[in-house]
Amino acid sequence: MKATIVLTVVVAVAACNTAPATPAKPSHDMAADVKAVEDVRNREMTMLNGMQMDSIWTLYSDDVVFMSPDEAMVSGKPAVKKWMDDSMKQAMMSGSYSGGTVTVDGDLAVDRYTGTLTVTPKAAKAMSCAIKGLHVLKRQADGKWLITQDIWNCDAPMGAAPPPAKK
């Protein structure tokens, strides 16, 4: 009995004196991840401007969710594809990104961006707006980043006068 108590005390003291575990090193290069996410953002706009709608789908996950201004949420690649195809039948779209900030945490990334979007309806005048939005991306098993959430809106309604400059 005495030997059991002594052994228990020795094990408890030894457990208290162990060095803390060193934190696990990230398994990915943060700078490379940020660049990869920025590349997805830039390829998205390049494909939109080039009307490469068959290629743009390579940037989105199968369960992608779109939340665009003044419309219901659209979920899943087939539904988003239909939404985008219907939109392109009504108008041409082009744009540019003017900035972005990428935050990566493990296999998830958030890309907060700004830019300009121009929509030219068939037989109507082009309208532009300053846009801002978020892409949420997830690293796939093959290491590729795909957009899982695309949330954006205009600073002012399309075709409306721009908001007054802040003083």
Answer whether residue 106 is part of any domain. Answer: yes
Provide the pLDDT for residue 123. 83
Per the domain annotation, does 16 fall within a domain?
no
* pLDDT per residue as tens digits for the range 70-87: 899 999 999 999 988 888
Return the higher-pLDDT residue of 14 and 28: 28
Q: Which domain holds residue 120?
A: 28-154
Residue with tokens 């002594």: 6
Q: Is residue 74 part of a domain?
A: yes
Q: Does 144 fall in a domain?
A: yes
Query: The domain spanning residue 84 has which CATH number?
Result: 3.10.450.50
d(CA 133, CA 117): 12
Total domains, the chain: 1
Assess if residue 121 is contained within a domain: yes
What is the pTM (predicted TM-score) of this model?
0.77
Instruction: For residues 129 and 132, give the distance between their C-alpha atoms in angstroms, rounded to a whole number.
Output: 10
- Confidence band for 17, pLDDT divided at 50, 70 and 90: low
Q: Is residue 39 part of a domain?
A: yes
- Domain assignment present for residue 15? The answer is no
Residue that wins the pLDDT comparison between 104 and 19: 104
Asked if residue 36 belongs to a domain, the reply is yes
78-92: b (≥16 Cβ within 10 Å) or e: eebbeebeeeeeeee
Tell me the average pLDDT across 30-37: 95
What three-state secondary structure class fits 114? strand
